[in-house]
Amino acid sequence: MIREKLSATAEAEQAFWFPGRWLGGVSMMLAPILLLTGVLLRIQFYFFFPQQLAAFKENPVLLVTAYNFFVAGNILLWPAIITLAQLVGNKKRQLALWGGTFVIFGLFARTFHGGADHLAFQLVRVQGLELATKAIASSYGAFNIVATLNGAILLGWIILAVGAYLSGTLGLFRSVSLGLMAALMLGVLKGSSWVSVIATAGLCIALVPLGIKVLQSGPIPNLKAVIGWLLIVLTVVVVFYFLGQAG
């Protein structure tokens, strides 16, 4: 009896993986949609920074909403990438290791750029469009260590897409769709183009169905558990929001 219990415990420990089926699956379904929404909301404006700053002056709510959707999707994407790397790594470990690592490093770079975007928009609000544009133009090529990660995300998506196909995690079409993310523009105050739409739409095609499959790969919790977790998540989000606003 004791031996059977120890065996069951060992199997349970081996079955655990981070971030887990639910966080990974929900991330796969939600993050690509948030990214695509952010891209579409700002598609009407030319993608380079002077036009983005001018667009913010004329449409501040729209631009802030678009950039926040994009940043939220980018941050929420990390569990999806770890989950995808976990699936790819069952058969193609090296491709999963390098592809997943490079993409996640690239997500850090995009988040850093999101902070710079926020500051640039505040310069428009506080100092005016002309001074803000001059400040961004004068500092656009300034060195920062995060810029060294720009190439990582471009290469990472391709490696991960190849691994997804060779491992059988995704078919050819959805693997190519995943690899299209390598074409998504990277940098401070980069708006949207139709290439951006194609890239983020490809991410939706690649990950959303896989997220559904991941969620369906195990037992479904009862309604009471779902409601309980939703209340916990909403409470944590509200608390974190007010903590963030407090500075």
Look up residue 228 and give its two tokens. Answer: 């309980």
Q: What is the pTM of this model?
A: 0.89
Q: How many CA atoms lie within 13 A of 51 on its CB side?
A: 11
- Residue length, the chain? 247
∠ CA(176), CA(181), CA(183), 5° rounding? 105
Distance CA 144, CA 102 (A): 18
Using only the alpha carbons of the chain, give its radius of gyration.
20
Taking each helix axis from N to C end, the angle separating 129-139 and 93-127, rounded to the nearest 10 degrees, works out to: 140
Look up residue 38 and give its two tokens. Answer: 């952010």
Distance CA 241, CA 247 (A): 10
pLDDT tens across the length of the chain (247 residues): 444 543 444 444 457 788 989 999 999 999 999 999 999 999 999 999 999 999 999 999 999 999 999 999 999 999 999 999 999 999 999 999 999 999 999 999 999 999 999 999 999 999 999 999 999 999 887 888 888 888 888 899 999 999 999 999 999 999 999 999 999 998 899 999 999 999 999 999 999 999 999 999 888 877 777 788 788 888 888 887 788 777 6
Other C-beta atoms within 10 Å of 151: how many? 14
With CA atoms as reference, report the closest residue to 35 among 204, 213, 207, 211. 204
> Do 120 and 142 contact (CB within 8 A), yes or no?
no
Q: Would you say the C-alpha torsion 119, 125, 131, 137 has a positive or negative sign?
A: positive
